[in-house]
Amino acid sequence: MSARVLDGTAVARSLLARTAERAGAFTAAAGRTPTLATVLVGDDPASRTYVKMKRNRCAAVGIGSRAVELPAETTTERLVAEITALSTDPDVDGILLQHPVPAHIDERAAFEAIAPGKDVDGVTMHSFAAMAFGEPGFHSCTPGGILRLLDAYDIPLAGRRAVVVGRSPILGKPVGMLLLARDATVTYCHSRTADLAAVVREADVVVAAVGKPELVRGEWIKPGAVVVDAGYNPGNVGDVEYAAAAERAGFITPVPGGVGPMTVALLLAQTVSAAEATR
C-alpha cells in the first residue's frame, strides 16, 4: 500500500486563482487594491525570506503590500504602537506580524494589538475564540489551510479519531478546534504525553505540528490513516518519518509542497475577505 499524496501546491494554486479574481473585482469596485501590511522585527534571514515571499505572492494575485521593518532592539511598546497604527489605517486590510519576534518582546501583546477585522493570520485570542465557538472570524492560516486541503480531497472527518501532536497557540490548539467543529474526536499530544506511539496508532487522522524532525515514526501510523505533516525542519524534513509513513497511510502531505503552500494561500484569501468586509 502506498499513500496518496495531498498536493498542497496544486490546491493552493486553485485557491490563489480564485483569490486573484476576487481581488480584481474588489479593486474595480472600490478603486483601491486589498492591502496586506507585513511587520518584520530584526534581521532573521529566514523571517526576511518568508516575508519577501509573501509580498511576491501578494503582487501575483493583485494584493497590495506595505512593509514595516523595525530594528531588532525595538521595544514591545513601539511594536504595539506600530501595529495599532496599522489597525486604524483604513488603507490597510490585513496585518501580518512575522513571528517569532526577538525574545525580549512580548509577542502576545503584539498580536493582541491587531484589530480582529485585520487579523488575517488568525493569531489573536479573538480569532481563536471564534474558531473554538464556530463563530465568524479568521482562521489561523496553517490550521485553516489544513482543513481546506482535506476538503479538497473529500476526506471525511465526522466520527474519526484525530490526534494532534503539538499544542502551540497558532497551530496545534486551533487545528484541534477546527477538527472538533467537524465532529472529529480530538486528542492533543505534547511533551508530557505518556506513550505517544500508542496514541498515534489509534488515530484515523494525524496532524504533526511540533517542530521535531521525524518525531512521528512510520510504524506508528494506522493503516489507511490520513497524515498531515505541518512541521518543517532543516533539510526539508518534516515531523513525520515520511517514507515509512507513506507505506502505511491512506493520504499524506509531502514536505515541502503540502501544508506550506496552503498557509500562504489562505493568508491572501483572508486578506481579500477582510477588504470585502469594509465595503
**Among 276, 7, 279, 274, which residue's Cα sits nearest to residue 119?**
274
What lies within 8 Å, CB to CB, of 228 at 6+ separation is 6, 146, 149, 150, 205, 206, 207, 208, 252, 253, 258, 259
Q: Give me the catalytic one of 54, 118, 173, 222.
A: 54
> Quick one: average pLDDT of 167-180?
97
Start-end of H helices in the chain = 8-30, 45-61, 76-87, 107-112, 125-133, 141-152, 172-181, 196-201, 242-246, 259-276
Average pLDDT over residues 52-58: 94
- Say yes or no to pLDDT of 261 above 80: yes
Q: What is the mean pLDDT of residues 250-265?
A: 97
Cell 474558531 sits on residue: 131
Please state the rounded mean pLDDT for residues 76-82: 98
Domains of the chain plus CATH, in order, are 30-115 (3.40.50.10860), 141-259 (3.40.50.720)
Q: Is the pLDDT of residue 170 over 90?
A: yes
**What percent of the chain stands above pLDDT 90?**
96
| Percentage of residues in the chain having pLDDT higher than 70 | 100
For 187, 188, 215, the CA distances from 2, given in Å and listed in that order, are 26, 27, 21
Q: Confidence band (pLDDT; 50, 70, 90) for 46?
A: confident
Options 119, 121, 229, 239, the catalytic residue: 121
Give yes or no: 270 in active site. Answer: no
| pLDDT tens digit sequence for 89-113 | 999 999 999 999 999 999 999 999 9
User: pLDDT of 128-160, one tens digit each?
Assistant: 999 999 999 999 999 999 999 999 999 999 999
Amino acid in position 260: G
**Which of 46 and 245 is assigned the larger pLDDT?**
245
Contact (CB, 8 A) for 250 and 5:
no
The closest alpha carbon to 146, from 98, 109, 117, 181, belongs to 181
pLDDT for residue 1 is more than 70: no
Does residue 183 carry a catalytic annotation?
no
| pLDDT score for 279 | 81
CB 207 within 8 A of CB 162: yes
- CB 87 within 8 Å of CB 95: yes
